Structure 1
Amino acid sequence: MTVLAAAVALIGSLFFALGAALQQFEAASKGEFSLRVLLRRPRWLVGGASITVGAALHLFALSLGPLTVVQPMGVASLLFALPIAAGLHGRRPAKAELAAACAVSIGLIALVMMVPAATEPPHLTGADGVAMLTGAALVALLCWGVASRVSPAPRTALLAIAAGVMYGATATLMRVLVEGTSWDVWLIAAIPLPALAALMLLQRAYAIGHFAVAFAALQVTDPLTAVTFGALLLGEPLPANGLAATAAALVAAAGTVALARTTPLTR
């Protein structure tokens, strides 16, 4: 079952990578940019459907095998996404891109392997939920404000980081809703708010053209945010070896910085 879980998670990563590459291709195309316009583009919608399939396969894999096996397979989506996105834009991924993507993947795999599993069902009070969403929104707004004052590659990273923070908040709410022993109606009402904000921020990041930067920054920020919220609000444990976890995060961050120096994916 463990081997099957790994295989399902790997296939899910492929679907997630394909969806992200398709959405970036449409977001970076010429013409008016808005979520309303993207929703009218069949290729962008197919990308969204592919991401949904990938997420569903990831959840199914978690029901078959342990998190320590499934999560590393999910990180492989970056390695799948780079060649797919490059092919859509009519070029091959450079060796420097692939090497940087490997650094991001290695750092993330090491990090997720060090996060201990939660021992109790998560519970989030309404006050803590408001504080979490407020904090995530403030970080996202700060990234948005700074992004307008920097060059394209850092702007892409900042917008993707903002999206990752909002997705991390969404994942925390989803965990409480799915795994918690009790939940309130406000959870269902609150989940679409950070999810929609994250979607819009990520499409803005994709539109700039540095797909690898956006995707890597998202993959690094999303789990880090979820782990932070889990520790602060849900009482979940942090990695026992803080030095090793920091080193893994720095490797992933260094890979993202290296990706920022590569050629942007634009038509």
Structure 2
Amino acid sequence: MTATTVLAAGVALLGSLLFALGAAVQQYEAVRAERPGLTALVRRPRWLLGGVSIAAGGVLHILALSLGPLTIVQPMGVASLLFALPIAAALHGRKPARGELAAAAVVSSGLIGLVLIVPAPTGSPSLSTPDAVILLGVAALVALMLWGAARGANPSWRAGLLAMSAGVLYGAAATLTRVLVDGAWEWWFLLALPAPLLIALALLQRAYAVGHFGVSFATLQLADPLTAIAFGALLLDEPLPTGLTGTVTAAVAAVLTAAGTFALARTTPLTR
């Protein structure tokens, strides 16, 4: 490793720590709030500080990507789950269970496999108005269906479904952001971007308020990138893994991620 690569890994790891800290703080505040809506949470200073920490983590992740290769930086980003569970447990006044940490490690291993087998995008993406409408419409429909399913689910499933709903909207917003930064786009894309981000944030806080932080955070980390990858392949013509090795790796990574998330659902929730 060169010194720059080591620096990139360190910056990405610090970014993951800040992202995990912010998520844990926001979950703690969402659980304690009488109502988990955004209008109530934005009045809580610690919840806002959590948002600042998440934003700082995102900036450091972008900086790390500018310093080092994706294969080094992305696994460090996935490590936020391993940081988040001990931090959240400490905020709630308990120690993380071994089962939680083991399940989180399994989920992280699967996520690393999934993010690393996807080829890096090439060229400048282009999104037409009809495709942008499809992007936002499909994401909104899927998110709505997941939200509806969450209403009658047990607590662990409710946390996961709400977080998945948020992750789908975040993934759609990430796809739109990639076009805004690097590609060809229409003026109304800028006006459309805040809506999925705000709705996703509100859904995520409701997921956090359920109490199963490990499930909601792991599901978010899975749904967000997979949605962006899917939309990138369908609408932006970005490459997907090919060949037997890529298929087998994707299948194993998916099994690990699913198994770890289900294991997290069976552990003790972070609230009484």
TM range (shorter): over 0.9
RMSD of Structure 2 on Structure 1 (CA)? 1.0
**1:51 & 1:25 partners in 2: Cα distance?**
14
Q: Identity percentage over the alignment?
A: 64
Give 1:39's aligned residue: 42
**1:13 & 1:204 partners in 2: Cα distance?**
22
1:56-90 deviation line (CA, Å, top 9, x unaligned): 10111111112221111100000000000000000
Question: How big is the shift at 1:183?
Answer: 2.5
Q: Which runs of 5+ in 1 are unaligned?
A: none
- The reply on whether 1:14 has 2:17 as its aligned counterpart is yes
Question: How big is the shift at 1:197?
Answer: 1.0
Instruction: Verify the 8 A CA contact 1:220 1:253 in the aligned structure 2.
Output: no
1:116-140 deviation line (CA, Å, top 9, x unaligned): 0112111111111110111011111
Instruction: Verify the 8 A CA contact 2:33 2:40 in the aligned structure 1.
Output: no
Give 2:238's aligned residue: 236
**2:141 & 2:98 partners in 1: Cα distance?**
37
- The reply on whether 1:64 has 2:30 as its aligned counterpart is no
**1:216 & 1:126 partners in 2: Cα distance?**
33
Give 2:251's aligned residue: 246
**1:177 & 1:32 partners in 2: Cα distance?**
35
Question: How big is the shift at 1:194?
Answer: 0.9
**2:109 & 2:152 partners in 1: Cα distance?**
31
Give 1:120's aligned residue: 123
Question: Secondary structure of the residue that 1:220 maps to in structure 2?
Answer: helix
**1:90 & 1:227 partners in 2: Cα distance?**
38
User: Out of 107, 111, 128, which is 2:110 matched to?
Assistant: 107
Question: Secondary structure of the residue that 2:27 maps to in structure 1?
Answer: helix
In terms of mean alpha carbon deviation, does 78-87 or 1-10 score higher?
1-10
- The reply on whether 1:255 has 2:257 as its aligned counterpart is no
Question: How big is the shift at 1:30?
Answer: 4.5
- The reply on whether 1:55 has 2:58 as its aligned counterpart is yes
Instruction: Verify the 8 A CA contact 2:28 2:88 in the aligned structure 1.
Output: yes
**1:264 & 1:29 partners in 2: Cα distance?**
14
Aligned residues between the structures: 266
- The reply on whether 1:174 has 2:177 as its aligned counterpart is yes
1:4-38 deviation line (CA, Å, top 9, x unaligned): 11111100000000000000000011523321110
Question: How big is the shift at 1:211?
Answer: 0.4
Give 2:161's aligned residue: 158
Runs of 4+ with >3 A deviation: none
The TM-score normalised by the length of structure 2 is: 0.96
Instruction: Verify the 8 A CA contact 1:29 1:266 in the aligned structure 2.
Output: no
In terms of mean alpha carbon deviation, does 186-195 or 17-26 score higher?
186-195
Question: Secondary structure of the residue that 2:32 maps to in structure 1?
Answer: coil
Question: How big is the shift at 1:141?
Answer: 0.7
In terms of mean alpha carbon deviation, does 134-143 or 246-255 score higher?
246-255
**Aligned residue identity for 2:45:** P
Instruction: Verify the 8 A CA contact 2:13 2:76 in the aligned structure 1.
Output: yes
Instruction: Verify the 8 A CA contact 1:23 1:43 in the aligned structure 2.
Output: yes
**2:188 & 2:5 partners in 1: Cα distance?**
36
**1:265 & 1:46 partners in 2: Cα distance?**
20
**Aligned residue identity for 1:220:** L
- The reply on whether 1:131 has 2:171 as its aligned counterpart is no
Give 2:191's aligned residue: 189
Question: How big is the shift at 1:246?
Answer: 2.1
**Equivalent runs, 1:198-213 vs 2, <5 Å:** 198-213=200-215
**Aligned residue identity for 1:247:** V
Instruction: Verify the 8 A CA contact 1:170 1:194 in the aligned structure 2.
Output: yes
**1:5 & 1:187 partners in 2: Cα distance?**
32
Question: How big is the shift at 1:187?
Answer: 1.8
Give 1:222's aligned residue: 224
Q: Which runs of 5+ in 2 are unaligned?
A: none
**1:116 & 1:30 partners in 2: Cα distance?**
42
